[in-house]
Amino acid sequence: MTAIVIDGKQTAASIIAIVKSAAVGLESDAKVKPGLAVVIVGDDPASHTYVTSKSRMASECGFNSIQHTLPEKVTQEELSRLVETLNQDISIHGILVQLPLPKHLDPEPIIQSIRPQKDVDGLHVVNAGKVATGDLDGGLVSCTPAGAMVFVRRIHGDDLSGLNAVVIGRSNLFGKPMSALLLAANATVTTAHSRTRDLPSVCRNADILVAAVGRPEMVKADWVKPGATIIDVGINRTFVSEGKSRLVGDVAFAECGEVAGAITPVPGGVGPMTIAMLMANTVIAAYRAESRTPPKF
């Protein structure tokens, strides 16, 4: 491996350190603890694992950490009422409804009913719109693209003028906001997807290559421009042998690491950053609620 392997755990820890000191500052100056409410419906084990880590990290950051676990059979109206209660609760600055919801529930009206100022997932159209228009200081940026941008900034600085960035994937959850953030930082951005012609040659132009497609180890070494920065957003569970599986990204890590300048591993890259940026968004929301200038991440 000749590339620098970007340490997501260490980068996340540096974000968490800023969050903790910001939380201490807010409590001593304004007597307010950042409050995060995480809502989970049903008993999907993977979702519970994620939510437990989020709630635990919120407590560790010194937040008022609230978890609402609703039964699988909860109605749309009951879930709506809970979100409305949390919208009105001044001790809660961030609301996260864990997705996916059970099939009988429609997630869209629920997400759009969260007050944009409390939408720490950055999924409300108001927040998505601010990212799309380049208003990055007014709204809340969704956590995974925000985390990926921290890596990009630490390697290339704040100004990406003259650099080509390629994002593979065009989802509302990641690809679109990621492309918008890179563009706002002055990169020349291509958003590639399943209908792109000759994806390998498009990728070979990238100084910054971001993969978010959900196909295990799709990006190969000969797709990579020498010295490029590769951010791997994929999390794919692949079968190894009976009862055994392992997590791999969308990038063939070992071979691409021989060509790239810097690369994120899976696990231990983007993953730990997502939760750190959720904490960052919560502390930002709490500062704004108190009309104070939040820290930059």
Residue among 251 and 275 whose Cβ is closer to ligand GUN: 275
Residue among 130 and 156 whose Cβ is closer to ligand GUN: 130
Q: Alpha carbon of 34 to those of 53, 62, 191: distances in Å?
A: 17, 8, 36
119, 121, 207, 232: the active-site residue: 121
The secondary structure element, H or E, covering residue 239 is strand 236-241
Q: Which residue in 216, 206, 207 sits closest to 237, CA to CA?
A: 216
Choices 5-13, 20-28, 90-98, 255-263; region in contact with ligand GUN by CB under 6 A: 90-98
- By CB under 6 A, name the one of 121, 207, 217, 250 that touches ligand GUN: 121
Residue sitting closest to ligand GUN (CB): 99
Choices 82-90, 97-105, 124-132, 245-253; region in contact with ligand GUN by CB under 6 A: 97-105
> What b/e string do you get for 203-225 counting C-beta neighbours within 10 Å, with b at 16 or more?
bbebbbbbbbbeebbbbeeebbb
- By CB under 6 A, name the one of 70, 97, 180, 285 that touches ligand GUN: 97
- Catalytic status, residue 98: yes
Residue among 110 and 209 whose Cβ is closer to ligand GUN: 110
- The C-alpha atoms of residue 115 and residue 168 are separated, in whole angstroms, by 31
Q: Alpha carbon of 79 to those of 55, 60, 75, 93: distances in Å?
A: 19, 27, 6, 18
- Catalytic status, residue 135: no
The secondary structure element, H or E, covering residue 45 is helix 45-60
Would strands 236-241 and 244-248 be described as parallel, antiparallel, or unpaired? Answer: antiparallel
Q: Which residue in 35, 18, 129 sits closest to 86, CA to CA?
A: 35
When asked if residue 207 is in the footprint of ligand GUN (CB under 6 A), the reply is no
226 phi/psi in degrees, rounded to 5: -55, 130
> What b/e string do you get for 273-286 counting C-beta neighbours within 10 Å, with b at 16 or more?
bbbbbbbbbbbbbb
Q: Peptide bond before 109: cis, by omega within 30 degrees of 0?
A: no
Q: How far is the CB of 38 from ligand GUN (least distance, A)?
A: 9
The secondary structure element, H or E, covering residue 178 is helix 175-184
- By CB under 6 A, name the one of 5, 18, 99, 126 that touches ligand GUN: 99
Residue among 72 and 222 whose Cβ is closer to ligand GUN: 72
Tokens of 193: 């997807």
Number of residues that bind ligand GUN (CB under 6 A): 6
Choices 80-88, 94-102, 186-194, 283-291; region in contact with ligand GUN by CB under 6 A: 94-102
Choices 17-25, 86-94, 96-104, 158-166; region in contact with ligand GUN by CB under 6 A: 96-104
When asked if residue 96 is in the footprint of ligand GUN (CB under 6 A), the reply is yes
- Catalytic status, residue 296: no
> What b/e string do you get for 177-193 counting C-beta neighbours within 10 Å, with b at 16 or more?
bbbbbbbbbebbbbbbe
When asked if residue 98 is in the footprint of ligand GUN (CB under 6 A), the reply is yes
Residue among 115 and 220 whose Cβ is closer to ligand GUN: 115
Residues 124-163 that bind ligand GUN (CB under 6 A): 143
Q: How far is the CB of 71 from ligand GUN (least distance, A)?
A: 18
Q: How far is the CB of 143 from ligand GUN (least distance, A)?
A: 6
When asked if residue 232 is in the footprint of ligand GUN (CB under 6 A), the reply is no
Length of the chain: 297
Residues forming contacts to ligand GUN in the complex (CB under 6 A) are 96-99, 121, 143
Catalytic residues, by residue number, are: 54, 98, 121
